[in-house]
């Protein structure tokens, strides 16, 4: 059990103080297949919860990624520019997308915890 929160669109966010680390779930990377490009926002950009954060391109399709919370982008994962397959190899870890400052932590309240997210993905099978 971790303290990550999950969206219905298959993003995860992990709070470290006021900073949230954001990525997509292992379920999402498996559905997408081989990732060949990740488009990320610029550092300093302000994101609004549920608005587009970036795009993941797999061999067969493009998928939009949405911000799980509002706030300013502090850092993006530069490794993904040269090695997008990190998302497949380690969606939960080294394949993270961005770190962001969370404006309002209460915005995370309606997200799922790990148990709820697992149940949610099982329901999609």
Partner 1 sequence: MAKSSDALKASLKNTALNALHKQLGARMVSFAGYQMPVQYKTGIINEHNHVRQYAGLFDVSHMGQAMIRGDNPALAFERLVSNNITDLGQDRLRYSLLMNESGGILDDLIITRRSTSSGREEINIVVNANRKDDNFKYIEESLHGLATLEPADDLALIALQGPKSAAVLMRFDPTVTNLIFMSSSEIQINGINCFVSRSGYTGEDGFEISLPSSEVENLTLRLLEEPEVELVGLGARDSLRLEAGLCLYGHDIDINTSPIEAELGWAVDKKRCELNSFPGAKLIFKQITDGVNRRRVGLLPDGPIPLREGTLIIDKVGKEIGYVTSGGYSPTLKRPIAMGYLAVNHSNLGSNIWAYLRGNKLRLTVVSLPFVKHQYYRGT
Residue written as tokens 């990190």?
A: 86
Q: Which of 43, 61, 115, 119 binds partner 1 (CB under 8 A)?
A: 61
State yes or no: residue 31 binds partner 1 (CB under 8 A): yes
Q: In what order do the strands lie in the sheet with 19-24?
A: 5-6, 11-16, 19-24, 98-101, 71-76, 46-47
59 scored as a contact of partner 1 (CB under 8 A): yes
Closest CB to partner 1 among residues 41, 102: 41
96-115 residues near partner 1, rule: CB under 8 A: none
The token duo for 68 is 């799980």
Kindly state whether residue 10 participates in binding partner 1, applying the rule CB under 8 A. yes
Q: Other C-beta atoms within 10 Å of 86: how many? A: 19
Smaller CB separation from partner 1, 57 or 92: 57
**Binding residues with partner 1: total (CB under 8 A):** 22
Centroid of chain to Cα 116 = 17
Among 42, 60, 106, 109, binds partner 1 (CB under 8 A): 60
Buried b / exposed e across 71-81, counting CB within 10 Å, b at 16+?
Answer: bebeebbeebe
- Quick one: tokens of 15? 């709070």
Q: Determine the interface stretch with partner 1 among 11-19, 36-44, 95-103, 104-112 (rule: CB under 8 A).
A: 36-44
Sites of contact with partner 1 (CB under 8 A): 9-10, 28, 31-34, 36-37, 39, 55, 57-63, 84, 88, 124-125
């Amino acid at each position: 059990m971790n303290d990550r929160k999950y969206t219905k669109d298959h993003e995860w966010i992990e709070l470290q103080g006021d900073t949230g680390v954001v990525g997509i779930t292992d379920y999402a990377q498996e559905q997408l297949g081989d990732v060949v490009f990740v488009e990320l926002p610029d550092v300093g950009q302000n994101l609004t919860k549920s608005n587009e954060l970036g795009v993941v391109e797999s061999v067969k399709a493009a998928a939009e990624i949405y911000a799980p919370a509002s706030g300013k982008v502090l850092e993006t994962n530069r490794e993904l520019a040269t090695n997008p397959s990190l998302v497949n190899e380690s969606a939960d870890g080294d394949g993270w997308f961005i770190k962001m400052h969370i404006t309002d932590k209460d915005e995370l309240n309606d997200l799922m915890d790990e148990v709820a997210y697992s149940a949610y993905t099982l329901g999609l099978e």
